[in-house]
């Protein structure tokens, strides 16, 4: 008798030790998007983009776009970096077909945590797939948390000046979701610490005040790069190519180059929000530029 097909089955939580810290990456959601070009490489030719896809054995037309928040347990506090889509697809018709519903709280529960357990929520930047899980039905999802925003990022969205047309609705969301949380928030700049061992790094470009975060515990180092890189081939092997969703494309290009050099030079492992799950790897530099190398067992030892 034929066996019935059961559908996709893949991990949704990955947890490991970093010094005395415990870190978990969480698959909030993923979408399959059409049109590799001009989504990536609008300043390159179609042929160049398709050739790079074929050289890396990935689809030339479609790509997987996951959302991967990161949870850091310092032993004293639980710090969640970004919140995924949350209820945005259910609460806003214009997002219902673009964003899959977020699963961060359900997957936190599977990892052993309740929303009340989260002490700090760090928002790397104000795009919908990062702020969407902050509020549901008008109420904070993490009721006991302190919130951390980049000061420049928060100020940009709140002022609402020079917001490009494609981000006007994003600004409305930010005003509804994030601004009411200001009295429970801390505003930081690059070089500031969220907690001992967690330091903000300038990664502006994809958004006006995007922050990455350097994590260090007992001499072990790691970096959360958020949306500095949004695809493991296109954004790493060709950092000079434009990404459609970058708000300041030339600054994003410069930032990618600087962060790639830092990661390769310092041999840092990375958690990246849109890389293939679990979103953990490192950057290797060779004669032909940079490439993303997925984590295997290095962080398990």
CATH number of the domain encompassing residue 272: 3.60.15.10
Q: b/e for 240-278, b at 16 or more Cβ within 10 A?
A: ebbbebbbbbeebbebbebbbebbbeeebbbbbbbbbbb
Residue 123 β-bridge partners = 149
Classify residue 280 as left (phi > 0), alpha (psi -120 to 50) or beta.
beta
Pairing of strands 146-150, 120-123: parallel
Confidence (pLDDT) at 245: 94
Residue 139's pLDDT band, with cuts at 50, 70 and 90, is very high
8 assigned to some structural domain: no
- The per-residue pLDDT of the chain, averaged, comes to 97
Question: What pLDDT, in 10s, does the model give residues 254-280?
Answer: 999 999 999 999 999 999 999 999 999
* Rounded Cα gap, residues 112 and 44, in angstroms: 45
Residues forming beta bridges with residue 281, ordered by sequence position: 270, 294
- Please say whether the dihedral angle defined by the alpha carbons of residues 154, 25, 30 and 80, taken in this order, is positive or negative: negative
The DSSP letter of residue 297 is S
Dig out the tokens for 92 from the structure.
């806003």
Distance CA 277, CA 31 (A): 12
- 2 within domain boundaries: no
Yes or no: say if 81 and 213 are a contact pair by the CB < 8 Å rule: yes
The dihedrals phi and psi of 261, each to the nearest 5 degrees, come to -60, -40
Exposed, middle or buried: residue 176 (CB in 10 Å: 0-12, 13-18, 19+)? middle
- Residue-number span of the structural domain to which 291 is assigned: 13-295
Domain membership flag for residue 301: no
Query: By C-alpha distance, which of 185, 188, 66 is closest to 129?
Result: 66
- Is residue 288 very low, low, confident or very high in pLDDT (cuts 50, 70, 90)? confident
pLDDT at 263: 98
Q: Are strands 120-123 and 29-34 parallel, antiparallel or unpaired?
A: unpaired
Whole-number pLDDT of residue 130: 98
HSE value, Cβ hemisphere, 13 Å, CA-based, for 287: 0
Tell whether 73 is covered by a domain.
yes
Residue 1: inside a domain, yes or no? no
- In terms of C-beta density within 10 A (0-12 exposed, 13-18 middle, 19 or more buried), how is residue 57 classed? exposed
Q: What is the pLDDT of residues 162-194, one digit of tens each?
A: 999 999 999 999 999 999 999 999 999 999 999
- Strand, coil or helix: 169: helix
Would you say residue 3 lies in a domain?
no
Within a domain: residue 190?
A: yes
Measured between alpha carbons, how far is residue 148 from residues 181, 201, 294 in Å? 10, 14, 29
Residue with token string 């909030």? 28
Q: Can you give the length of the chain in residues?
A: 301
Q: Is the pLDDT of residue 1 over 80?
A: no
Percent of all residues in the chain with a pLDDT value above 70, rounded to a whole number:
100
Structural domains in the chain (count): 1
Q: Cβ distance 290 to 239 under 8 Å? A: yes
67 in a domain, yes or no? yes
Helix axes 168-177 and 151-159, enclosed angle (nearest 10) = 110
CA–CA separation, 89 vs 234, rounded Å? Answer: 27
Distance, CA of 145 to CA of 132 (rounded, Å):
16
């Amino acid at each position: 008798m034929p066996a019935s097909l059961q559908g996709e089955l893949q991990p949704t939580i990955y947890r490991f030790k970093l010094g005395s810290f415990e870190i978990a990456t969480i698959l909030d959601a993923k979408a399959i998007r059409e049109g590799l070009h001009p989504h990536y490489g609008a300043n390159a030719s179609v042929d160049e983009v398709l050739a790079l896809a074929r050289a890396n054995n990935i689809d030339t037309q479609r790509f997987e776009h996951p959302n991967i928040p990161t949870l850091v347990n310092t032993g004293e506090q639980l710090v969640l970096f970004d919140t995924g889509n949350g209820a945005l697809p259910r609460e806003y018709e214009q997002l219902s077909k673009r964003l899959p519903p977020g699963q961060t709280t359900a997957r936190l529960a599977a990892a052993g945590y309740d929303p009340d357990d989260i002490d700090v929520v760090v928002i790397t930047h104000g795009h919908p797939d990062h702020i969407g899980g902050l509020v549901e039905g008008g109420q904070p999802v993490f009721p006991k948390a302190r919130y951390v925003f980049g000061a420049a990022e928060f100020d940009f969205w709140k002022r609402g000046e020079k917001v490009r047309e494609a981000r006007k609705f994003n600004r409305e969301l930010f005003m509804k979701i994030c601004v009411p949380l200001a009295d429970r928030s801390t505003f930081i700049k690059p070089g500031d610490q969220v907690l001992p061992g967690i330091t903000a790094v300038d990664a502006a470009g994809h958004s006006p005040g995007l922050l990455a975060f350097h994590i260090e515990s007992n001499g072990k180092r790691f970096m959360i790069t958020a949306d500095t890189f949004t695809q493991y081939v296109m954004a790493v092997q060709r950092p000079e190519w434009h990404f459609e969703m970058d708000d300041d494309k030339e600054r994003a290009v410069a930032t990618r180059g600087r962060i790639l050099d830092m990661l390769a030079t310092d041999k840092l492992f990375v958690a990246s929000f849109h890389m293939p799950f679990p979103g953990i790897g490192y950057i290797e530099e060779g004669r032909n530029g940079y490439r993303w190398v997925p984590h295997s067992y290095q962080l398990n030892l």
